[in-house]
Amino acid sequence: MIRPRVMAGVRVTGPLHIGNYWGALSNFVKLQNEGQYTCFFGAMDWHGMTTAYKNSQEIAPWTREMIAEFIAWGLDPEKSTLFVQSQVPEHLELFMILANLTPMGWLERVTTWKDAEEEARQSDTHNLGRFAYPVLQTADIMIYRGEKVPVGRDQVAHLEISREIIRRFNHLYKAKMPEPVPLFTETPILPGLDGRKMSKSYNNFLLLTPEEKALKKSVNSMVTDPARALRENPGTPEVCSVHGYHKLYSSAEDIKWVEHGCRTAGIGCGDCKARLFNNIDAITKEPREKKKELLNNPKLLDSIISAGCAQARSEAKKTLEIVRSYMKF
Ligand code: SF4
């Protein structure tokens, strides 16, 4: 049976946080387990390099950690092709082909670039790699002849430019490369530890697989409802980030306990945080151990990564042959 191909990746920028899980990894696992698709999931280290090029020595350990976390949270190298972008050099060859046929104006109009330009100037990442990000993203999808890309509804514009670039390729070379379509996924609203929107730039995120000590520190730092300055003051759980995390990690019964206890001052914020800590700790325990086991066994992890990259390369090479034959190049 020929199954549609799904391609998706996560940019390598450091250890995964829960935004990566709810926005990407949890959906990857779901798609893999549904069994309807041939799945390619990548640790996108070239994309990470566009902003972390000054700390290039950190990219490789982050990448290994990402693959270990992919596996720890349910991706199975027997069911999905797990690869590291830079170990499949065909991504860059196809990037070069697509870069030539992508008008500059298309990239200048990308809203994420326009929005990020000022920050990019300030952080010394106003560079060609970052500007051309959508072209590399298109190559990442096209190199596996990806037909479906899991995205949140707010990210559909990111995929649209890839569709346009592939359409232009098809038009120019009378080709039939698949134009990827979005596979819509739902992402819950994730609160930052400080009550603001969760964002890497605010440094207010919860790691996906934290060690116990780091988890305790994160939970203790969560901002609570200021109305509960004293233990006997009732509060409003909806304005508290601890409540937001209970909704992600706790049982319905615990959520009821929090909401009732908070509104009636029946529980203190310390009790509420302690319960949250226990719940997150219980959920992350197994993946934490699995991740550790993989990182402590570099031979095993390396062999999983090599096998995944070899599988990915074999598909990527086939695509390049097809691409070059369309181009007569
Ligand atoms: Fe937040 Fe829980 Fe305190 Fe209510 S009891 S303010 S939900 S930490």
pLDDT digits (tens, 9 = 90+) for 238-282: 999 999 999 999 999 999 999 999 999 999 999 999 999 999 999
CATH classification of the domain holding 276: 1.10.240.10
Sheet with 181-185, edge to edge strand ranges? 80-84, 38-44, 5-11, 148-152, 181-185
**Domain annotation covers residue 308:** yes
Torsion of CA 95, 100, 101, 104, to 10 degrees: 100
**What backbone phi and psi angles, to 5 degrees, belong to 42?**
-125, 150
55/120 same-domain check: yes
**Domain annotation covers residue 89:** yes
How many other CB atoms are there within 10 angstroms of residue 194's CB atom?
Answer: 14
**Domain annotation covers residue 201:** no
pLDDT tens digit string along 187-198? 777 888 988 888
* Nearest CA residue ID for atom 4, ligand 1: 262
Atom of ligand 1 nearest to the CA of 241: 1
39/123 same-domain check: yes
pLDDT tens digit string along 203-246? 899 999 999 999 999 999 999 999 999 999 999 999 999 999 99
237 CA to centre of ligand 1 in angstroms: 6
pLDDT tens digit string along 131-149? 999 999 999 999 999 999 9
247/142 same-domain check: no
Print burial letters for 218-234: b (CB count within 10 Å at least 16), e (below 16). bbeebbbbeebeeeeee
CATH classification of the domain holding 158: 3.40.50.620
Residue 1 has pLDDT above 80, yes or no: no
60/164 same-domain check: yes
Please state the domain count of the chain.
2
13/124 same-domain check: yes
240 close to 246: Cβ distance less than 8 angstroms? no
How high is the pLDDT of residue 186? 78
**Domain annotation covers residue 109:** yes
**Domain annotation covers residue 80:** yes
Number of C-alpha atoms within 13 angstroms, CB side, residue 117?
A: 9
12/130 same-domain check: yes
53/132 same-domain check: yes
Q: Which structural domain range is residue 75 located in?
A: 5-190+298-327
Cα separation of 45 and 214, whole Å?
A: 25
**Domain annotation covers residue 307:** yes
**Domain annotation covers residue 195:** no
Cα separation of 83 and 315, whole Å?
A: 12
**Domain annotation covers residue 202:** no
138/99 same-domain check: yes
pLDDT tens digit string along 155-197? 788 899 999 999 999 999 999 999 999 998 877 778 889 888 8
Residue 200 has pLDDT above 80, yes or no: no
**Which 3 state secondary structure label does DSSP give 199?**
coil
Find how far residue 220's CA is from the centre of its chain: 26
Which residues contact ligand 1 via a Cβ below 6 A?
Answer: 224-225, 228, 235, 237, 240, 242-243, 258, 262, 267, 269, 272-273
* Nearest CA residue ID for atom 3, ligand 1: 269
Question: What is the rounded average pLDDT of the residues 284-290?
Answer: 97
How high is the pLDDT of residue 116? 86
Instruction: For ligand 1, pick from 193, 223, 228 the residue to mutate: most ligand atoms within 8 Å of CB.
Output: 228
Range of lowest pLDDT (42-46, 63-67, 185-189, 269-273): 185-189
Cα separation of 59 and 13, whole Å?
A: 7
Report yes or no on whether pTM surpasses 0.85. Answer: yes
182/269 same-domain check: no
Atom of ligand 1 nearest to the CA of 269: 3
Percent of the chain with pLDDT over 90: 86
Please indicate whether residue 55 or residue 196 has the higher confidence score (pLDDT).
55
Residue-by-residue DSSP string for 37-86: SEEEEEEEHHHHHHHHGGGHHHHHHHHHHHHHHHHHTT--TTTEEEEEGG
Mean pLDDT (the chain, rounded): 94
Structure tokens at 26: 């949890």
**302 falls in which pLDDT band (50, 70, 90)?**
very high
88/112 same-domain check: yes
How high is the pLDDT of residue 158? 83
282/322 same-domain check: no
57/72 same-domain check: yes
How high is the pLDDT of residue 201? 73
Element (H, E) at 29: helix 26-34
